[in-house]
Structure 1
Amino acid sequence: MLAAAEHVLITGGIDEFTVGAVAERAGMSVGAIYRRFSGKEQLLHAVKDHLMGHLETGVGDALAAAEPGLDGVITAFANAVADTFSRHSRIFPHLLSGQGAEGVERGLQALAAIQDALAEAVEPYRDDIRRADRDQALRIAARTITGSAVHRAATCETWPDGLTWTTWAAETAEMAVAYLAS
């Protein structure tokens, strides 16, 4: 059902995203969708929750397998963020434009969770951060990476940059490490 909802968002955008369209794509009755979701907003929230879960899991897994050192952890973080956004790049603009307060809250929870995961993974390499306020610097780096990814995903169709997500991640990680180590 969530795959059908994602498909409808990708192909028709938020304007075509209806319970009826999702039901048709999923091969289900509209009533079956309504038994699980109260309406379009709750279904949209479920899609976003699913994708935010992928982001949290992807970042957690990448950080657990990161190469040693500040550079390894930051690179793993940027790659994991890029991987999630690249696999869902056609859906994120629609999710970002059509979210209520509940959707915003879930997005903020995911961003806080991955920022906390990064801070934990960087802990053994804190001394490599040369900024006066290491915690602040790491928050700025995390938010720069995630904010840039969100912006890139939101504008990828209207303002393409010609980069692959892999190149974007490598360049963004290098920039963040340079900042942290300066």
Structure 2
Amino acid sequence: MTTSEARGRARGRTAVAEPRQTRSQEGLIRMLEAGRALIEASGNLDELSINDIVERAGTSIGAFYRRFDNKDTFFEVVQDRVMTESIEFVRAELAGRPAWRSADAGVLADATVGLYVRAFRRNRGLYHASLLRSSQHKESWNAVKETSTEVLALIVPLLVDAIHAARGRAARKAALDFDVRAALQLVIGLLVNSVLHDPGPLSLSSRRLEPYLQAQFRRCVGLPGT
């Protein structure tokens, strides 16, 4: 079962069946890509028009309703698709960027914060729409939370091991694990706030955001500043 299918099952729905014909499959992909772009631009599901989706995708209203019951179902499929891509992106980052192979806890800490900042900037509109929708549909933010849990499972052990090695045997890994997760909760909370209330003292587009969060994260886990 894929991550997206698991999320769909958890919400009590099944993933959209892949169309058998190549042309129909291409139309489905274009609709999902069009919807993704429109959601990212508006950040509000209420402003998402099915007419705009099919016009941008070059398909039809009939093609949309052959695949999706309504706009909410469409949004959930787009959201699941983006979250699955996000996990793949993180795995590629961890495999490809030299920072993730560093034994320096500070380098890993900065890389972690940088990864979250990029993710929120890349998905700002989708996150904003998900947060707004969660006021009426409590489960709307679940896909993002589930993805965050998967990301934490990949990143936290790397940070804990590096900090443990830096501090020596006196440091307990269980305590370090808590410190890292709590510090990341603070980082994520500030990023969520920036999505909802941007612009603010630390706008999501501000150049000061990433270094500020990196400094705060280091302080929370007891690492020297840059």
TM range (shorter): 0.7 to 0.9
> In 2 relative to 1, CA 111–29 (structure 1 residues): closer, same or farther, beyond 3 Å?
same
1:97 corresponds to 2:139? no
Counterpart check, 1:81 vs 2:116: yes
Number of the residue aligned with 1:37: 68
Determine if contact 2:109/2:214 at 8 Å carries over to the other structure.
yes
Query: Contact conserved, 2:112 with 2:155, CA < 8 A, in 1?
Result: yes
TM-score normalised to structure 1 length: 0.82
Change (3 A) 1:69 1:61: farther
Distance 1:35 1:25, change over 3 A: same
1:116 aligns with 2:147: no
> RMSD of the TM alignment (CA)?
2.6
Structure 1 residue 124: Cα displacement: 2.7
State yes or no: 1:176 paired with 2:190.
no
What is the deviation of 1:176?
A: 0.9
Q: Which runs of 4+ in 1 moved over 4 A?
A: 129-132
Query: In 2, Cα distance between the equivalents of 1:162 and 1:38?
Result: 37
* Equivalence map 1:2-17=2 (5 Å): 2-9=32-39, 10-11=41-42, 13-17=44-48
Taking the aligned partners of 1:83 and 1:73, their CA distance within structure 2 comes to 15
CA-to-partner distance for each residue in 1:153-173, whole Å, 9 max, x for gaps? 22225x463564553122212
**Unmatched runs of 5 consecutive residues or more in structure 1:** none
Q: How many angstroms does 1:174 deviate by?
A: 1.9
Which residue identity does 1:146 align to in structure 2? Answer: I
Deviates more, 1:17-26 or 1:121-130: 121-130
The alpha-carbon distance between structure 1 residues 145 and 97, as it changes in their structure 2 partners (threshold 3 A), is same
How do 1:18-167 residues align onto structure 2 when only pairs under 5 Å count?
Answer: 18-64=49-95, 65=97, 66=100, 67-99=102-134, 100-127=137-164, 128=166, 133-157=175-199, 159=200, 161-162=202-203, 164=205, 167=208
Q: 1:51 to 1:149 in 2, by over 3 A?
A: farther
Higher mean alpha-carbon deviation, 129-138 vs 13-22, is at: 129-138
Q: CA deviation at 1:77?
A: 1.4
Does structure 2 retain, via aligned residues, the 8 Å contact 1:4–1:26?
Answer: yes
Deviations, residues 5-61 of structure 1 (Å, cap 9, x unaligned) = 133332483222133331222121112122222211111112222332343333333
**Bigger Rg over Cα:** 2
Query: What is the aligned-residue identity percentage?
Result: 21
- Aligned residue pairs: how many? 181
Structure 2: runs of 5+ lacking an equivalent: 1-30
Quote the Cα distance in structure 2 between the aligned partners of 1:68 and 1:113: 22
What TM-score comes out, normalization by structure 2 length? 0.68
